[in-house]
Amino acid sequence: MLDIGKGRIQEGFALLRQARPMEAWAIADALMAEQGNNPEVLFLASQAKLALDEIDAGIALMSAACNAAPNEPHLMLQLARLQTSQRRRTDARASLNRLTVLVDNLEATNVADLLHAIGSEYARLDDPSTAVTFYQRALAAGCNAPALRYDFATALFFSGEFEPAEQQLDTMLEIQPGAGHALYLRATLREQTLARNHVDDLQSRLANGFTNPTAQAGCYYALAKEREDLGQNSESFAALSEGARLKRQTLQYDLAAELAAIAAIRASYSDAVMRLPTDGHNEVGAIFIIGMPRSGTTLVERMLTRHSDVRAAGELLDFGHALSAATRKIVAAQPGLGMVEASLRVDFASLGRDYMRSAREAAAGSAIFVDKMPINYMYCGLIKKALPNAKIIHLVREPMDSCYAVYKTLFGQAYHFSYDQVELATYFAAYQRQMQHWHSVMPGQILDVRYEDLVVDTEAQVGRILSWCGLAWDPSVLSPAAHERPSTTASAAQVREPVHIRSVGKWRNYETGLAPLKAQLIAEGVLIE
């Protein structure tokens, strides 16, 4: 890159680190007048615009920086990452294609980390199959980092390649024996048996100790999962309880604040507000699947997307991100407004168009697609205002089974309420109140599907779902396990099994240990004693 105005450029980045983006932009703007094709100046300008929440301008300047330095792969990687984070998936793929050409022309000794990074971007684009290809190339180029082995295993897991995934994890654990997240993933790849399990290995690792409580929690969750597979219920729950306790200690999580945010949405989107006419975006084709995590949402997604006319878009954060971007602009123009209050003033048609653009890119342009993001239950009213023709399917599961399924899952960076039984029950009650509210203020706009009915009377329930979505009968929907597409969820192994009822009533195996959960659900009015 050009070595012009280095001091001013460094000053601009220092200002950004000090959260002074307007001053950084002033420097970048002045430098561009003098050196408009300097990629370092353009990169500074892009970062200043992004810090000012002027996203389109930031992306355009980053793209200009790449054009000014066409042989700089790390700059192109930055652009791809930015485009992915801003839901510009088609653009991100184009940038990754350009980056791949650059990497192919570099010396093999310099490309391993770049190949790993490219694979990670495809993983972020919900394309684990392509990610696998780049992870393989990174290994062949000489990268043996534990992070690569784990990312490779995760992509293989999502692609249904469970044995190769386990091999990668075994290799990683030889290099990094204290990797609790790898121990947990290894346990979830398959059902463990008396003849083939890792229980002794996991107990040995716990006896040797962990310096990292997060890693230790991962080991306990792995042990709990494997002991449950072996039918060792009391030992399984003891390990799970200790893992959950350790995990909760690592989190700075304010349940009250989250519940207040949910309640604020409920209060703002009242019956009167929902009755007000809204000019939404009338495009058809979006199917939202919502509910608590581990309530059967992935199963319904796999069924629906076996239909010849439907494609999975994945677990999209797009609606929440688009809503947040729209409300931030209103708050910036009217300081003092809260985010929920500002959302009432959003241009819902524009919000719907923005969402549909990015979601269709995720679904490869399919006319009908499924967005399976459980947490969208919070936004049902906003979804219908932005997209009046969207279909919303809500998975309902028996509360104790639902909460136990959540409690025994190590989610990593999501669902922080899940690691304490009382907090989990309190959150479940808030979720239930939110759904009752949406049914009250927009009757007939949400289809409830009971998980227990779905797995017992599958054909009838799937028929209801297809009718709700305006889709013709397709017998393929009854064979979700035959789905060839990857599943990028925690249920990636289970969804490749035939529909079964083994999980119905499973909480009863742990009734004593789950007493705090049950007592709080009773106190919240979710259960009747």
- pLDDT tens, residue by residue, 361-418: 999 989 999 999 999 999 999 999 999 999 999 999 999 999 999 999 999 889 999 9
Q: What is the pLDDT of residue 1?
A: 40
Q: What is the pLDDT of residue 107?
A: 74
Q: What is the pLDDT of residue 58?
A: 96
Could you give the strand order of the β-sheet that contains 286-291, starting from the edge strand earlier in sequence?
310-314, 368-372, 286-291, 391-396, 446-450
pLDDT(223) > 70:
yes
- The DSSP secondary-structure symbol of 2 reads -
Does residue 72 form part of some domain?
no
Does residue 344 form part of some domain?
yes
Does residue 474 form part of some domain?
yes
**φ, ψ for residue 291 (rounded to 5)?**
145, -170
Distance CA 334, CA 341 (A): 11
Q: What is the pLDDT of residue 289?
A: 98
Within 212-291, residue ranges assigned H as helices are 213-229, 233-249, 255-268, 271-275
Q: What is the pLDDT of residue 495?
A: 59
Would you place residue 501 in the very low, low, confident or very high pLDDT band (cuts 50, 70, 90)? Answer: confident
Residue range 100-125: average pLDDT? 91
Number of domains in the chain: 1
Does residue 69 form part of some domain?
no
pLDDT in tens, 187-221: 999 999 999 999 999 999 999 999 999 999 999 99
pLDDT(492) > 60:
no
The one-letter amino acid code at 469 reads C
Rounded to a whole number of angstroms, the distance between the first and last alpha carbons of the chain is 70
β-strand pairing of 368-372 with 391-396: unpaired
Q: What is the pLDDT of residue 519?
A: 98
pLDDT above 90 covers a percentage of the chain that reads: 88
DSSP for 351-403, please give it.
HHHHHHHHHHHHTTT-SEEEEE-GGGGGGHHHHHHH-TT-EEEEEE--HHHHH
Residue range 264-290: average pLDDT? 96
Q: What is the pLDDT of residue 484?
A: 66
The CATH number of the domain holding residue 493 is 3.40.50.300
pLDDT in tens, 24-79: 999 999 999 988 889 999 999 999 999 999 999 999 999 999 999 999 999 999 99
pLDDT(309) > 80:
yes
Distance CA 376, CA 339 (A): 17
pLDDT in tens, 238-262: 999 999 999 999 999 999 999 999 9
Does residue 389 form part of some domain?
yes
- Average confidence score pLDDT of the chain: 94
Q: What is the pLDDT of residue 491?
A: 58
**Domain, as residue range, for 485:** 273-500
Q: What is the pLDDT of residue 2?
A: 44
Q: What is the pLDDT of residue 480?
A: 86
Mind spelling out the 3-state secondary structure of 467-491? HHHCCCCCHHHHCHHHCCCCCCCCC
Query: Cα-Cα-Cα-Cα dihedral of 102, 104, 105, 109, to 10°?
Result: 110
Does residue 490 form part of some domain?
yes
Does residue 396 form part of some domain?
yes
**φ, ψ for residue 502 (rounded to 5)?**
-65, -25
pLDDT above 70 covers a percentage of the chain that reads: 96
pLDDT(4) > 80:
no
Distance CA 409, CA 404 (A): 9
Does residue 411 form part of some domain?
yes
Of the candidates 288, 292, 313, 291, the one whose C-alpha atom is nearest the C-alpha of residue 486 is: 313
- C-alpha distances in Å from residue 1, one per residue of 39, 42, 66, 80, 502: 7, 11, 11, 19, 61
Distance CA 93, CA 98 (A): 9
Q: Are 380 and 355 in contact (CB under 8 A)?
A: no
The alpha carbon dihedral of 229, 234, 238, 240 has a sign of positive
Q: What is the pLDDT of residue 35?
A: 86
Q: What is the pLDDT of residue 496?
A: 58
pLDDT(131) > 90:
yes
